[in-house]
Amino acid sequence: MRAVVTHHVTGTTVTIAGQLDLATAAGLRGTLLNAVTDAVAAVTVDLAGVDHLGCAGIGALAEGRHHAAGRGIALRVRAAGPHLTRLFQLTDTADLLDPRPAPT
């Protein structure tokens, strides 16, 4: 997993690439918690570069979402392709994470 955090006036973007699974979930969790702590508005998690998402990765996203909500900050999952959107539906996390496609 590779993560790049970019701060903007309107929020923070965390761009993720690679695999999100048991081996990388702790790194994702730490990245998201730090991004939320440093954010002044919203955190957008860009999953366009993710080629594999396991349950541990979904759990890390959910934990980041809960941490953000506790601080009054929105955490948005974006650029989730059809395969990731379907995975969120199958794991009953689509309502929590509200994945959206990349803007066109």
Report pLDDT digits (tens) over 63-73. Answer: 999 999 999 99
The CATH code for residues 2-97 is 3.30.750.24
Helix axes 25-38, 55-70, angle to 10 degrees: 20
Evaluate whether 72 touches 38 at the Cβ level (below 8 Å): no
pTM (predicted TM-score): 0.92
pLDDT of the residue at 104: 62
The Cα 95–Cα 22 span in angstroms is: 23
**pLDDT 10s per residue in the chain (104 long)?**
999 999 988 899 999 999 999 999 999 999 999 999 877 789 999 999 999 999 999 999 999 999 999 999 999 999 888 889 899 999 999 999 989 887 76
* Domain locations in the chain as residue ranges: 2-97
